[in-house]
Structure 1
Amino acid sequence: MRHEPAAPRYRAETDGPVHHLTVANARGEAMGYLWANDEDDAAGWCLRPAGDRAGFGEGLEWSTKLAAAKARGLVPTAALAELARGSDPRCVSHVVPGSLSAAPSLAALTELARVVTEADDRRLLAQLDRRNADAWRELREALAGLTDEDRDVRWSEGGQRSDGTRQMSHPIHSERLRRLVGALASVGAVTPAYLWQDNPPPAVPAGGRLGPADAVRAATAVVRGERFGDGTIAQAAGNGLLDAVAESLCAWYEAVTGGPEAAS
């Protein structure tokens, strides 16, 4: 069987400085960056992990456009210039006019992409269902009912079973802990709008207090993370993160609705 040669592509890495363009969605929120370095014949897409999930699909679209530019023999910065000229603000994503800038390295651009903006916070808070008073009441009551025994999660015994199979150890969540976790999902704090796998794992902040948007980030990372590896909920229950998340969200809800009974 005859194999066609692979289509030419720009290199995906460079140690040198990069030129970059900001790509935004229809709301004007940055989704990622197109970058280029002529010396290394390198160009690519840099996702904003603080942005929304649409950045993945749009990143593939922009990468396809870069590949087409490479196939026509354009140097990387010329490809960026062409993409900027042909960008349509009516599309799902577009190059922000006048956004061409430079970074000392691709690593520096990656760090820039991790910066969280007020727009990122607003998008996550918009996921919270402030109209569902019953769900918020359930969250508040579940938090109040959680005990130290619930927070000290036990694990099942693992090892060899009598039939020769091996049983993996797993956390045993109490009914009260499961209630709290379920309430977090019910109020909208567990959301696909946060790219938890592309961001650092959540941690208990100094003083134990979280901002509401960070509480959504932590809730999403903890609850969705449990699906990929047992123990994230147990760890968050034991180190105080789960309490900080629920307390922050309840405080936010009472602030925006005027109190626990105002939205009833």
Structure 2
Amino acid sequence: MKKIVSIGVLLCLLLVGCAAEKEREKTGASEPSEPWITFDTTVIEANEYGSFDLSGTSESSFTMRYKKTNRTILVKDNQFKVQAMYDKDFPDELEISFERSNDDEPIVQRFTLDYSKYIAKNEADEQLAKDVEERMPPLLETIVAESKGQILQIEPVLGNYRMLKVVIPLSVKYERNGEKKRIMDTLGHDIQARTAEVLYPDGEKIPYLYFRYNETNELLGSSQLLYRNRFTLSDAESY
């Protein structure tokens, strides 16, 4: 009788063990595998040209397909970065397909394009342009008036206030070269300092200046290309 009970218990244990093993196999088969490619973000910053970058990790190199464009992306140390992707239609969302040669199905990922920095910059540029148009004309008139005849007129070149034509009396032409340079430096630095506050609120740049004589429109000198606060004397003749 004891042998029969022992055999029954053993059979029950075997049946339970088999059922547990099958359950584990079933559970393991149902767990999804990790994707071979992941992305740093699915919300991508785009600029004013509709251009954006894409980065993430991948187990291997792959082909990326977007609209009619196919690009082979090489992966190093499981990292990748795709630069200067472009869509002239400025979509809010887009779908990109990623595939490898040994996979049956590609991975299709939807991304959201974020234009907020571009919009903010565009709004700031528009406000700055409005401020320049409103503030520069009276400021230039004030600079001319306060120069006590040293400056006859200041006007934008082709409507661009970042390039200014400074008209000075023809009498300066007959000064010594050292005096011409001194006049140009003194007036130029003052004009640049006062107008830069309006033109470049960030303080990173100053306007380019041309100095010309009235009546003849001859060039006295101008700002240097790389160093705008340095002036080159063009009319170097001494009288």
Larger Cα Rg: Structure 1 or Structure 2?
2
Q: Greater share of helix residues, 1 or 2?
A: 1
Higher relative contact order, chain-length normalized (CA < 8 Å, sep 6+) = 1
With structure 1 as the length reference, what TM-score do the two structures score?
0.27
Q: Which has the higher strand share?
A: 2
Q: TM-score, normalised by structure 2?
A: 0.29
